[in-house]
Amino acid sequence: MPLSERAYLNHLRSACLEIARDLAQAAPEEFDQGGALRNSILYSLIVIGEAVNQLPLDLLARYPEIPWRSIVDLRKVLTHRYFAIDPLLVRQTADVHVPRLLSQVEIMLAEGSGMD
């Protein structure tokens, strides 16, 4: 049985919170050194991209301020072209874009209209 839209949004929310927690608990240079912190953030970004990919287009269209296609495209790079990952892009995504996405997902969950 497929997950509901709300369930995918909750997965999105959890992955965003995981990234925020990881960044808050680590020294800035830890990310640059690779290892567990970077891998955890990369995995959470993959979860975010896959959850977005599972959401219906009509739901995403109601929130055009979020670059949904870019989120899915990033997941594809992280999973299929991992050798081309730009650590600076990943860090900027984690620091800047994930908090914005989290705010929007919180709004979407609160509104809840039209979700199954």
Structure tokens at 107: 């709004």
How far apart are alpha carbons 72 and 74 in whole angstroms? 5
Structure tokens at 50: 């896959």
Phi then psi for residue 33, to 5 deg, are -85, -5
Digit-coded pLDDT (tens) for 33-73: 778 888 999 999 999 999 999 999 999 999 999 999 999 99
Give residue 113's pLDDT: 52
Q: Model confidence at 87, in pLDDT bands (50, 70, 90)?
A: confident
Residue 1 has pLDDT above 50, yes or no: no
Q: Model confidence at 114, in pLDDT bands (50, 70, 90)?
A: low
Q: Which of 74, 68, 72 is nearest to 108 (CA)?
A: 68
Give residue 26's pLDDT: 81
Least confident of 21-25, 44-48, 66-70, 83-87: 83-87
Catalytic residue among 80, 81, 91, 97: 80
Give residue 82's pLDDT: 77
Active site residue 80: yes
**Cβ count near 96 (within 10 Å):** 10
Active site residue 38: no
| Averaged pLDDT for residues 71-76 | 94
Catalytic residue among 13, 38, 75, 97: 75
